[in-house]
Amino acid sequence: MKSFTRRALLRFGALTGMVSGLPWTKASFAEAGPPSAGVQRYVTLGRTGLKISDISFGSSRLRDGDEDLVRHALDRGVNYFDTAESYGRGRSEVVLGNALEGKRDQVYIATKMGTGPATSSHRMMNSLEDCLRRLQMDYVDVFMNHAVNSVATLKNSEWFEFVEAAKRQGKIRFAGMSGHAGRLVQCLDYAIDEGMVDVVLASHNFGQDPAFYEGFTRSWDLVAVLPDLPRVLAKAKSKNIGVIAMKVLRGARLNDMRPFEQGGATFSQAAFRWVLQNSYTDAAIISMTSTRQIDEYLGGSGGLQVTEEDLELLHQYARLTDLSYCRHACNECEGACPNGVAIADVLRTRMYATDYGDLAFAKGEYRRLGALASPCLNCDGQPCRNACPHGLQIDRLCGPAHLMLS
Contacts of residue 121, defined as CB under 8 A and 6 or more positions apart, other chains included, come to 158, 159, 161, 162, 165
Exactly one of 249, 288, 392, 401 binds ligand SF4 (CB under 6 A); that residue is: 392
From the list 299, 276, 280, the residue with the least C-alpha distance to 241 is 280
DSSP-derived letter for residue 385 is T
Exactly one of 343, 351, 362, 372 binds ligand SF4 (CB under 6 A); that residue is: 343
Number of other CB atoms surrounding residue 8 within 10 Å: 12
Rg (CA), the chain: 21
**What is the closest distance, in whole angstroms, from the C-beta atom of residue 399 to ligand SF4 in the complex?**
6
Nearer to ligand SF4, 176 or 251 (CB): 251
**What is the closest distance, in whole angstroms, from the C-beta atom of residue 333 to ligand SF4 in the complex?**
3
What's the distance, CA 317 to chain centroid? 21
Tell whether residue 332 is a contact of ligand SF4 (CB under 6 A): yes
| Distance of alpha carbon 233 from alpha carbon 3, whole angstroms | 31
**What is the closest distance, in whole angstroms, from the C-beta atom of residue 99 to ligand SF4 in the complex?**
35
Give the interface segment with ligand SF4, choosing from 66-74, 111-119, 140-148, 370-378 (CB under 6 A).
370-378
| Distance of alpha carbon 317 from alpha carbon 254, whole angstroms | 9
Give the interface segment with ligand SF4, choosing from 113-121, 286-294, 308-316, 387-395 (CB under 6 A).
387-395
Tell whether residue 388 is a contact of ligand SF4 (CB under 6 A): yes
Each residue 275-314 as x (binds ligand SF4 by CB under 6 A) or -, in order, gives ----------------------------------------
The one-letter code for the residue type at 391 is G
The one-letter code for the residue type at 123 is R
CB-side neighbour CA atoms (13 Å) of 347: 26
The one-letter code for the residue type at 146 is H
**What is the closest distance, in whole angstroms, from the C-beta atom of residue 361 to ligand SF4 in the complex?**
19
**What residue ranges bind ligand SF4 (CB under 6 A)?**
326-327, 330-333, 337, 339, 341, 343-344, 347, 373, 375-376, 379, 381, 383-384, 388, 390, 392, 394-395, 398
